[in-house]
Structure 1
Amino acid sequence: MKYIKQSLLLIVFVLTIVSYVSAKGIKFGKVSKEQFAIKECSYEKDASAVILSRTCSIDLSYSVIRYFYHVRIKILKEEGFNQANIKLSYYRNNNIENISGVKGHTININDLGKQEVVKVGNNSIFDVDVDENYGEVRFSMPDVKVGSIIEYKYVTNSQFYSYLDTWYFQDEIPTLYSSLKVNMPESFRYNMVMFGSMLQAKYPESKSNEWTMTNMPSIKEESHVNNYHDFIEQLRFQLAGYFTRDKSSLGGTPVFVSSMTTYKELAKEYIERVKFLGRANFAKKQLELILDGNENNWAKLEKIYDFVRTSVKWNGKYRIYPEKSPPNILEEKVGSNSEINYLLVLLLREAGFDCNPALARSNNRGLIQKTYPLLSQFDQILACVELYGKRIFLNATSPYRPFDLIAEKDLNYHAFVLKKENPYWAKIAANARNRQDILITYDYSDLEAPVCKIGLRETGYLAAKSRKKLTEVGAESWTSDLFDLEKVDFQVDSLQFKNEKDVNLSLQMECELNLENGLGGDNDFIYINLFNEQDLKNPFLKESRQYRIDYNYPRSKSYLVKFILPEGYQFEDYPKGVKFVLSQGAGKFMLTSQIIGKELSIRTSFSVNIASFTQEYYGDLREFYSQMIKTMGSQVVIKKIKNSSVK
């Protein structure tokens, strides 16, 4: 049940309307001297602004759900001025939601110590259509300066009963007080799910209808996080059912109507709505053009996948229902994610494969909730093939990936495979072959014409990213991310690629470039950095971390750097062998070095073998990166031999 209309619902219990009262006596426009006296957030002293209070009271009736919001923010620094630009989102499709009662003002203290209030004018409030589904009410708070308190309130009116809006107790700035209250008639039953250790510790039981958290930290920007919202303190509600009246019984016996379906029922309803896969004759004609009849199953799978990924361009839209027919998709050569991957399923089925569509969720939208069947959480359709005891997920929306490499955003642990009679959850496992090998040779044997030779080989996601970047921004930009081009006379024409267009093979590149600076000059010692700045950036500098660390897929990277010296020079110092290992075999870094005559070889290897780490692992990971980058930052020191004749 997506939303309930009054005419369709007979309620046993009479609803008592509860008028809105701000939490804990927080009244609009009534600001205390203590709040104006706040100059910084005591537990986040670098914060540019702080939420003094953010409250919501939800009133459910049989015709509408009303969310009464009230927000008060203190501006602490000029960097916090952006908090005065307000955007209130709502779902406008089919008029399911709208926003009303918007009021706002800025409060400042003048030279006489009196409060001055500047209101947001009605002509400064704009209702904007963001896209086909969402709208935003936008306005800016007036006369904002350091020390201002901005305050606004509004009401969201909704007919969406399947679940209530998620309440987040944290925001991008620290929150001193956050409160949610739900006023619900006894005829409704909602399941509540808590996220976050602090919330669960304070409310171990779910009997309350009001939840308050204080002194909440801001949502920190951290590297290697797919979605922050999986980890912040929050409450979610989903409709379990409601009571109605049994007309057949004398007096109308109360009857509970469950709105909780099962995933099997969800799959059945979804499959019945999709008519895409009935075009067998069309698929058969296409296969006659794609296959020659001599392929084994693996070659057949690869050919069909390659046909779809190169024939149809993804329009960037995420849809779980295809809108166009298979002929129209191929004729227009563009389609949504579901249209492209349903076309792939259609062709693979006609070719004899055990193939089914699968519902998935992009990892940047958060983890899948398997407890409650909810179709709206999915935004992706994958093709799932069972072949020789293996389960393979395919996503043909990118021209840069081979068939066994779904999008990195698809790596979200599970997908729901829509097998007609027996739908099931299946684990999504990342391709383990994601490797980059780089060979760099600095050849100074001829001081008149020193050269740098570079070789590269990439597989898996690393190769897919490189192919995408080479196409979109060009070879020079791609090369500058990998190597320090200041050392060489870079010429794009010198790059020689192999398998650049064949995504099923490793990407390879070779080049030979002239070195800009030799070993000449009057200095007795020459200092050379082994790696560029990109390789020496530590993503884990903060002492603590709030969130899980997401790598999404295992990866490995190796460097072999060689230096060849002429007569009259020798190696004075260079990095020596080291090895750092993460516990439980989760990762490793190793450096080895060797001198043979005038040639120094330094080899490094780095690997991370799991897709994600819990935040408890952060200290070990931070130390691992610190030691690795310190080692990689070491220099090679070359000494000019005195009294030596150098030609």
Structure 2
Amino acid sequence: MKKIFLISFLVLSTFSSIAQVSIDNVTKEELLEKQNRAFPTSGAVIVDEKNKVYFDINLRDGNFISGEEVTRKIKLYKEQDLSKLSFTIPYFVRGAYAEDVAIDEVYVYSLVNNEITKTKITSFESKKEGDYREKGVDFTKIPNIPEGSIITYRYKKLSENLDVLPEWFIQGDLPKQRSIYTMRIPTYFTYQMIQTGSQKIASNESIIDVKYGNGLLDSNTIKTLEKTLVALNVSAFSEEVLVDNAANYINKVRFDLSSVQFPGSKQQQVLGTKQTFFENLQKNKRYWKEILNDRYYRKQISQLDLSAKSDLEKADLILNYLQKEVTWNGMYGIYPENGLKSTYLRGQGNTADINLMLISMLRYVGLDANPALVSTRSNGKKKEWQGMYYNNLIAVLQSEGSYYFLDASSKNASIGVIPIDNLNGVVTMFSDKEGTKDLISTPAFVSSRKENYQLEFKPNGSLTGTAIHAYDNYEAFFVKEKFSFMGRFKYIKELEFVNPGLSVHNFVLNDNRTVDKNIARISFGVNKPNGSFSFNNKFFVNLFQFYDGKSNPFVTDNRLYPIDFAFPNSYTYSVSLLIPKGYKVDVLPDDLEIKDADSGVSAQVKYTRKNNRIEVIVGLLKSKAVIEPEYYENVKQVYNSFYNKLQEQITIEVELE
């Protein structure tokens, strides 16, 4: 177990050869300022931010370590934005790359009787979960921070990880007047710089001589690259609904170690290319030996009835067997963590352990199965080759010219329906005998959700009846995952919570799947005493009160990022309302049918009257998983028309003889 050798002049003071920059420079004029000139509507602004990244020598073993120092000066204009000033620093204390963090110089400046007061903050937040740690400051828990205050702080972080330098997040929750990123890197190390976003950056660099180890080591000075990046007047990042991962769009700069060359030695390529990465993986005999080893499961697989079964039927039986035998430990991976045999015997492993075992079993029964690497939605989309380009592994079955994705890490996955975090565009399939092949993980098929309510209106204004919800494919997967996480009791309570006054009884979930479809069906009884409201001897009933999606998600004037539904889907909602004898509904609202071909979004609302029943069918189809922002106005028009219809009510009144 490795541990960073921390010495006071490294952590609590500064890193070698780098002068401290004072953040103790606050004036009355700054404190009296009522609004920021560059961002006049913002409730808080980062006036100045400095990120410094540099190397030093770990005196314990003589290896290089990296250090990061961050200083910020923030002006609070509106008290309601105080929470945006809080910060958290994550780090790991053990493992391949141990880290440590120190927070110092946290001050609050304010005006009291026209004099500047300076208050030192010593109350820090902390969190511990195994090897994972967090340190930070929650300014909402600190009393007496009035509007107009200025907060300054500094923290330092040490890491043994030189493969990736700390990212420069140019954008954040708050706008920034100035953000500076300075790096001092020995010329032994070459880093690839990748920028996301279109923020203009000024840059300058030079080669300087630096003596490392704070002069305690008998060493010569080392040629060092000093590079400074500056961004001015950076707007805050605008959050939008239905985005795959905000990190794909936020302005930032990433640094990956590309190569290393020490004096007197050859250059070592670290990052390589996508091609060399897969070539090395295909030549990795230990990797493929794990897949070829089938001794530990032969007996169990041989007991499965695979005779006279199609490829998909065989695959489904093996997938179902493995899902029952092995549980995911919550960790993604492209390499086995425990080894396949050990994972099988222990009943737990990461995604690579589980899905490589699935591939091994599928191959054992004669199926054409190979691994595929994925950058999950949570890992983000990568424009250029970089470290952690892939972070997950799934299985691909090839049968009769078609490719099917499988992932046994989820108990609720099925053939062609895998955890949604994997639906991130392109996956790369590879084998030990052939090259690579890029496949699209975004489903082409539509997953459906159908909800039907058979209700009866009571003269006291209540609604009673039954509900049946039917889901297939990814809609079914989503419901099963949610139910597995929440449990029966919480699932029912959420149904009641989102429909105030609703009482659910006789709840039943039927969980099923076929070779080509994932299925879920829910049924329950409905009783809602406040299902209508009355006025002047009339009852007003909204037939859409059980519709899941109470508000229109598209209300902003414009859109910057693609709309991401993850998968094409349709939502059909229907209600059949029995009107008791002696009551009537004179007029039904108009129907609606609207469709936009460019975005693939369509909606319809259709009313019918059948004897003493009023029926309505609502349909919302999103035939594309991703819609580019240029079609946002089209989507917005469809949704506005649709949600306006959902506000309409029918009027029930006594039928006069």
Change over 3 Å in CA distance of 1:354–1:78 after alignment to 2: same
Q: Could you tell me which of 279, 285, 290 is aligned with 1:276? A: 290
Farther off after superposition, 458-467 or 51-60? 51-60
User: Is the contact made by 2:369 and 2:398 (CA closer than 8 Å) also made in structure 1?
Assistant: yes
Change over 3 Å in CA distance of 1:372–1:501 after alignment to 2: closer
- Report the TM-score, using the length of structure 1 for normalisation: 0.82
Partner of 1:437 in structure 2? 450
Amino acid at match of 2:234: M
After superposition, residues 229-628 of structure 1 pair within 5 angstroms as 229-242=247-260, 257-270=268-281, 271-272=284-285, 274=287, 275-369=289-383, 371-374=384-387, 376-421=388-433, 422-430=435-443, 432-443=445-456, 452-475=465-488, 478=491, 490=503, 492-493=505-506, 495=507, 497-499=509-511, 504=517, 506-510=519-523, 513=526, 516=529, 523-532=536-545, 534-628=548-642
Change over 3 Å in CA distance of 1:235–1:517 after alignment to 2: closer
Deviations 1:274-324 (A, max 9, x none): 353232222322211223423221110110011111222223222333233
Shift of 1:515: 6.8
In 2, Cα distance between the equivalents of 1:459 and 1:552?
15
Shift of 1:59: 3.6
In 1, Cα distance between the equivalents of 2:451 and 2:497?
13
After superposition, residues 42-53 of structure 1 pair within 5 angstroms as 47-53=42-48
Change over 3 Å in CA distance of 1:636–1:150 after alignment to 2: same
Change over 3 Å in CA distance of 1:574–1:292 after alignment to 2: same
Q: Could you tell me which of 234, 240, 243 is aligned with 1:216? A: 234
Matched position secondary structure for 1:364: coil
Alignment of 1:109 with 2:113, yes or no, is no
For structure 2, the residue ranges without an aligned partner over 5 or more in a row are 1-14, 58-63, 206-224
Change over 3 Å in CA distance of 1:472–1:192 after alignment to 2: closer
Change over 3 Å in CA distance of 1:33–1:424 after alignment to 2: farther
For structure 1, the residue ranges without an aligned partner over 5 or more in a row are 1-16, 248-254
In 1, Cα distance between the equivalents of 2:109 and 2:498?
53
Amino acid at match of 2:634: D
Alignment of 1:39 with 2:50, yes or no, is no
Matched position secondary structure for 2:404: strand
Change over 3 Å in CA distance of 1:101–1:566 after alignment to 2: closer
Partner of 2:220 in structure 1? none
User: Is the contact made by 2:511 and 2:521 (CA closer than 8 Å) also made in structure 1?
Assistant: yes
Change over 3 Å in CA distance of 1:491–1:183 after alignment to 2: closer
Change over 3 Å in CA distance of 1:131–1:446 after alignment to 2: closer
Matched position secondary structure for 2:575: strand
Partner of 1:150 in structure 2? 151
Once superposed, what is the RMSD of the aligned Cα atoms?
3.8
Matched position secondary structure for 1:280: coil
Amino acid at match of 2:319: Y
Matched position secondary structure for 2:233: strand
In 1, Cα distance between the equivalents of 2:94 and 2:487?
41
In 2, Cα distance between the equivalents of 1:338 and 1:441?
46
Q: Percent identity?
A: 19
Matched position secondary structure for 2:363: helix
Shift of 1:209: 4.1
Change over 3 Å in CA distance of 1:479–1:459 after alignment to 2: farther
In 2, Cα distance between the equivalents of 1:317 and 1:575?
52
Matched position secondary structure for 2:296: helix
Amino acid at match of 2:88: K
In 1, Cα distance between the equivalents of 2:533 and 2:425?
56
**How many residues of Structure 1 are paired with residues of Structure 2 in the alignment?**
609
In 2, Cα distance between the equivalents of 1:309 and 1:377?
27
User: Is the contact made by 2:578 and 2:612 (CA closer than 8 Å) also made in structure 1?
Assistant: yes
Deviations 1:347-405 (A, max 9, x none): 11111122122222220221134x3253x343322111111111111111222232221
Amino acid at match of 2:168: W
Amino acid at match of 1:527: F
In 1, Cα distance between the equivalents of 2:474 and 2:39?
38
User: Is the contact made by 2:46 and 2:74 (CA closer than 8 Å) also made in structure 1?
Assistant: yes
Change over 3 Å in CA distance of 1:85–1:95 after alignment to 2: farther
Deviations 1:566-601 (A, max 9, x none): 443332232212122234152100122223443332
In 1, Cα distance between the equivalents of 2:77 and 2:627?
35
Shift of 1:615: 3.2
Farther off after superposition, 483-492 or 179-188? 483-492
Farther off after superposition, 454-463 or 42-51? 42-51
Shift of 1:237: 2.3
Matched position secondary structure for 2:277: helix
Partner of 2:208 in structure 1? none
Partner of 1:118 in structure 2? 119
Amino acid at match of 1:145: I
In 2, Cα distance between the equivalents of 1:621 and 1:216?
29
User: Is the contact made by 1:577 and 1:592 (CA closer than 8 Å) also made in structure 2?
Assistant: yes
In 2, Cα distance between the equivalents of 1:220 and 1:423?
37
Matched position secondary structure for 1:35: helix
In 2, Cα distance between the equivalents of 1:140 and 1:458?
42
Change over 3 Å in CA distance of 1:583–1:109 after alignment to 2: same
In 1, Cα distance between the equivalents of 2:584 and 2:143?
67
User: Is the contact made by 2:334 and 2:392 (CA closer than 8 Å) also made in structure 1?
Assistant: yes
In 2, Cα distance between the equivalents of 1:622 and 1:273?
53
Shift of 1:532: 2.1
In 2, Cα distance between the equivalents of 1:455 and 1:107?
57
Farther off after superposition, 288-297 or 95-104? 95-104
Matched position secondary structure for 1:116: strand
Amino acid at match of 1:456: H
Amino acid at match of 1:169: I
After superposition, residues 185-196 of structure 1 pair within 5 angstroms as 188-196=189-197
User: Is the contact made by 2:442 and 2:566 (CA closer than 8 Å) also made in structure 1?
Assistant: no
User: Is the contact made by 1:172 and 1:218 (CA closer than 8 Å) also made in structure 2?
Assistant: yes
Farther off after superposition, 351-360 or 218-227? 218-227
After superposition, residues 158-173 of structure 1 pair within 5 angstroms as 158-173=159-174
Matched position secondary structure for 2:33: coil
Change over 3 Å in CA distance of 1:273–1:225 after alignment to 2: farther
Change over 3 Å in CA distance of 1:414–1:621 after alignment to 2: same
User: Is the contact made by 2:601 and 2:638 (CA closer than 8 Å) also made in structure 1?
Assistant: no
Amino acid at match of 2:538: F
In 1, Cα distance between the equivalents of 2:320 and 2:562?
35
Shift of 1:558: 0.9
Change over 3 Å in CA distance of 1:486–1:240 after alignment to 2: closer
Shift of 1:223: 2.1
After superposition, residues 74-89 of structure 1 pair within 5 angstroms as 74-82=75-83, 85-89=86-90
Change over 3 Å in CA distance of 1:104–1:438 after alignment to 2: same
Matched position secondary structure for 1:323: coil
Change over 3 Å in CA distance of 1:294–1:491 after alignment to 2: same
Partner of 1:13 in structure 2? none
Shift of 1:30: 1.2
User: Is the contact made by 1:590 and 1:606 (CA closer than 8 Å) also made in structure 2?
Assistant: yes
